[in-house]
Amino acid sequence: MKKLLITTTILFCISLSFSQNTSFGIRVGYNWSELQGNYGFKTLNSYTDYNKISENYFGLYLNYNFNKRYAIQPEINFKTRGFKYNNKQGLLGASWGGNASLNYVDIPLLLNYNYGINTKIKGFINFGPSINILVGGGKYDYYTWGDALPGGITYNYTRNIRNDFNKIDIAVIGGVGLKYLIQPKLALFSEIRTSYGITNATVSKEYIDENISSTWYYDNSHFLDFSIDFGIAYIFGK
């Protein structure tokens, strides 16, 4: 299923690339990812802060114009999502924390609205759904647990939590940006974008983590992303 979705998107993009109303772009950026919802240590949630992780990302897109204002924009983006946590300072006399990262291929299909600022600078708005496919990662690092445990025991270990997450989830994306035409066929662009998962990113479950003798659980959790990117686009047919 994952391979079929990615292959279909690539073929669709190739077919659009032969159009006279198409531009091809490469983007690089920085993505902040946060897992929202109910998850964590059941008995210690009130003592724990859960936070964002941030990673670079890379993507490709094709933009097919229906007219001067509207376009459709399929993309393929390679992102890392996850979360990290640590105890609230000084509580329980202990220190604990951890971080998780998972690798995704995102396949958005966006409606692109363009508006003119002047002959060289154009503004744009993107909005639409994205299919996010979990393809790797899942490494979860735990660290410095147990300052308050007998003997000051400290645990440092790693496990893989990929099976705790759904293989595919659906998100909604919204973004605004600017495009600067440096040549008739070449443009630079920048965009600020956010996305939110409308399906659960995690499998609802709970289990005893024997390494730290605490129950970890997931229930109704979704990824929220915020990204800033820059890129270059080649314009066909001008």
Give the confidence band of 15 by pLDDT, cuts at 50, 70, 90. Answer: very low
pLDDT at 148 over 60: no
Residues 161-181: tens digit of each pLDDT: 888 899 999 999 999 999 999
Percentage with pLDDT > 90 across the chain: 44
Residue 31: burial class (beta carbons within 10 Å; 0-12, 13-18, 19+): buried
Give the confidence band of 11 by pLDDT, cuts at 50, 70, 90. Answer: very low
Q: Using a cut of 0.85, tell me whether the model's pTM lies above it.
A: no
Which of 207, 210, 218 is closest to 166 using CA atoms? 218
Domain 2-235, CATH among 2.60.40.790, 3.90.1150.10, 2.40.160.20, 1.10.287.70: 2.40.160.20
Average pLDDT of span 55-75: 91
211 phi/psi in degrees, rounded to 5: -65, -30
pLDDT for the residue 116: 84
pLDDT at 153 over 70: no
CA–CA gap between residue 15 and residue 19 (Å, rounded): 8
